[in-house]
Amino acid sequence: MPICLRDCFPKRPRRLTLAVAALMLGACAARQPADPPPAPAPEPVVTAPYESAVLADLLVAEVAAQRDALDVSLGYYVETARSHNSPAVTGQAARLAAYMQDAPLALEMAERWLTQEPDNQTAHEIAAIAQIVMDNPTAAAAHIDQLLADDPQSGLIRLVTQAEGLDQQGNTQLLAALAQLTDRYPDQAPLWYARALHLQMEGDLANAFEANEKALKLNRSHEDAQLLKARLLFEMDDHDAALRQLRRMVRKAPDARRPRVLYIRLLLEDGREEDAISQLQTLSERFPEDQDLRFSLALYGLQRGAVDSARQTLDALLEEGYRPDQIHLYLAQADEMQGDEDAAIEHYLAVQEGDNALAAQLQAAQLYERQGNIPAMRALMVTLREHHPAQLPELYAAEAELLGRSDPEAAFTLMNEALHELPEHTDLLYARALLAERLDRLDQTEADLRRILTLRPDDPETLNALGYTLADRTDRFDEAYRYIRRALSLQPDNPAIIDSMGWVLYRMGQYQQALVHLQRAYDMFPDAEVAAHLGEVLWAMGRQEDARAIWQEADQQQPGNRHLRAVRERLEGGR
C-alpha cells in the first residue's frame, strides 16, 4: 500500500539489438524503408464464366473487397473455392487469407491451388509462409525447395518479399527452413547465409562462421554476410579481426551506413570509445539528416558505458531540437551515473512533456533530498501538486517518504495536511500510520489502520500491519493473533504475513510453532528482518549457533540492516 518512490523513476534504456529481419537475405532483395507501407490487398480476380449463383457470390465478394470488408470477401471466395475447381478463385482465396494473416486458411487454399496448378510459384510462396507461421519449418522447406527448383534466380527474392510481414519468431522459422536446403542448392549464397544466421542463433559459432564463409566464397559482395563475419569474429573473441573486417568495409564504401553502424557498436563493446567518437562524428557528417540513427547509437553507447561519446551525440541532437524531453531524460541519467547530481537535476527539471515528465521531476526531488536541499525538494513537490492534481495522493506520499528519511515529524505533519484535504484516502492513512509508529504514536497508528479496515474490512496488508504492530509494540497478543490469522486466511502464501504469524506466536511463548512459520517465511523470502525474527526464536530455544548462522547469511545479502544489527547487539550483548 505505501507508495515507493523508486517505482516512479524511469528505467535505464535497454540495450539495442539488431533484428534478424533487418539482416535476412539482404543481398537477394532490394532494401526496404524502415517502415514499409502495408502490402496492398489482392487485386480483384479475373473470373471465367460461372453459373449465375456462383457469379453472384463472386460479385458480392468483389464489392465487399472494394468496401474494405475483406472478411466478407474472403468468406465468399473460400466457399466458392471449396465447391468449384477454379485456380483463379482458389488463388484469390489464398491471397486474401495470406493478406489477412489467417495462416491455416491460407495453407488450405494454397494446397488446394497446388492440386489445380502444381507449379504455381505464388501458391508455393503462400504455403511456405503459412507453414512458417504455424511453426512447421521442415514443411515450409519443401515448398521453398520447389521454388528454387523452378526458378533458382528469383525464387528467394519473391519469397522474402512475401515474408516481409513476419515477426521475429517467423523470421527465425524462415531461417530454419532455408538452412535445411544448403545441401540441395550448394551454389546459393543466400541459403548459406541463412544457415549461418540460424547456427549463430543456436550458439554454434564455429559452424556458423564456416557456413558464412561459403556464402562469401559464392558472393564476395554479399554485404550481410560480410557484416555477419565481423559479428561472428567478435563473438568468438577475435575482436581485432572483427574490427579489421569492418574497417576495410568502411574504407571501401564510406557512404554505406550499416558497416559503419556495426563498426561503432563493436568499438563501443570493445571499450574503444575514442575511436567510436571519431566514427560517430563521421556518421553525423555523412548522414546529418538521420537523427534517429544517431540517437539510437547514443543510447547504445550509454548502455555500454561509453558516456562521453553518447553525451556528445545527445548534446548535438539537443541543439538541433530533436526529441528534447527524451534527450534531457537520458542526459540526466548519464549525469547521475557519473555522480554529477547538479547537472542531473537540471536535465530532469527540463523534461516537461511526455509520459516520463512527472517521473523525471520526482527524480529531481529525490536528488535534492539526497543532497540535503530539503527546501528545494519541498518547493518542487508543491509545484508538482499544483500542476498534477490527479496525482495528489501519490505526490503527498512521495514527499512524505522523502521527508521522512531525515525529518519524520515534518513528514507526519505533511500527512496531516494531506488527510485534511483527502480524509478517507487509504494510502495516505497507511502512510501516516507508518510514520506514527516510527514516532511512537501508537494510538494514531492504530486509529489510522482501524479506519482503513472500516473502509476496506478485508484488506490483508492492513490486517497484517495492525496485527504485527500490536504483537510487536504491545502485550495484546490475542487480539494481534486474530488480525494476523484473518490476513493469513486471505493470503496464505504471503511471506510477510507468515512472518507476522511466527512473530506473534513467539511473543505468545509458542516457540516451536513460531519456528515453523518463520522458517517458512525465510525460505520464501530471505529478508534481513525475517532473519532477525527467525534468529531471535532460535536464540530463545537455545540454538545460538544456528541463530548466528542465519544472521550472518542475511547480513551478507543485506549488509548493514539496522533492525538485524539491533537484534544481534541486544541478544549477544545480554549473554
Q: Mean pLDDT over residues 270-293, rounded?
A: 81
Cα–Cα distances in Å, from 92 out to 61, 68, 87, 118?
A: 11, 15, 8, 16
What single letter denotes the amino acid at residue 495? P
Q: Mean pLDDT over residues 268-278, rounded?
A: 84
Q: What is the DSSP string of 48-83?
A: PP--HHHHHHHHHHHHHHHTT-HHHHHHHHHHHHHH
Enter the C-alpha cell of residue 75.
468468406
CB 183 within 8 A of CB 205: no
Residue scoring higher pLDDT (45 or 83):
83
pLDDT band at residue 24 using 50, 70 and 90 as cut-offs: very low
CA dihedral 542, 545, 547, 550 (to 10 degrees): -160
Q: Mean pLDDT over residues 384-403, rounded?
A: 92
Enter the C-alpha cell of residue 571.
541478544
The model's pTM is 0.55
pLDDT at residue 33 tops 70: no
Distance, in Å, from the CA atom of 149 to the CA atom of 143, rounded to the nearest integer, reads 10
Give the least confident one: 179-188, 311-320, 518-527, 564-573: 179-188
Distance, in Å, from the CA atom of 393 to the CA atom of 330, rounded to the nearest integer, reads 28
pLDDT at residue 27 tops 70: no
Distance, in Å, from the CA atom of 428 to the CA atom of 452, rounded to the nearest integer, reads 10
Site of grid cell 516451536:
512
CB atoms within 10 A of CB 406: 11
Q: Mean pLDDT over residues 98-109, rounded?
A: 86
495-548 pLDDT per residue, tens: 999 999 999 999 999 999 999 999 999 999 999 999 999 999 999 999 999 999
Distance, in Å, from the CA atom of 272 to the CA atom of 189, rounded to the nearest integer, reads 33
Closest CA to 1 of 428, 489, 550: 428
Percent of the chain with pLDDT over 70: 84
pLDDT band at residue 399 using 50, 70 and 90 as cut-offs: very high
Residue scoring higher pLDDT (262 or 145):
262
Distance, in Å, from the CA atom of 449 to the CA atom of 461, rounded to the nearest integer, reads 10
CB 143 within 8 A of CB 176: no
138-165 pLDDT per residue, tens: 888 888 788 777 776 566 666 666 666 6
Whole-number pLDDT of residue 165:
65
CB atoms within 10 A of CB 137: 21
Enter the C-alpha cell of residue 259.
558497416
CB atoms within 10 A of CB 409: 12
**Ramachandran quadrant class, 305 (left: phi over 0; alpha: psi -120 to 50; beta: rest):** left
Phi, psi of 509 (to 5 degrees): 85, 10
Whole-number pLDDT of residue 247:
93
pLDDT band at residue 333 using 50, 70 and 90 as cut-offs: confident
CB 498 within 8 A of CB 521: yes
pLDDT band at residue 59 using 50, 70 and 90 as cut-offs: very low
Enter the C-alpha cell of residue 9.
523513476
CB 90 within 8 A of CB 112: yes
pLDDT at residue 53 tops 70: no
**Residue 423, helix vs strand vs coil:** coil
CB 385 within 8 A of CB 396: yes
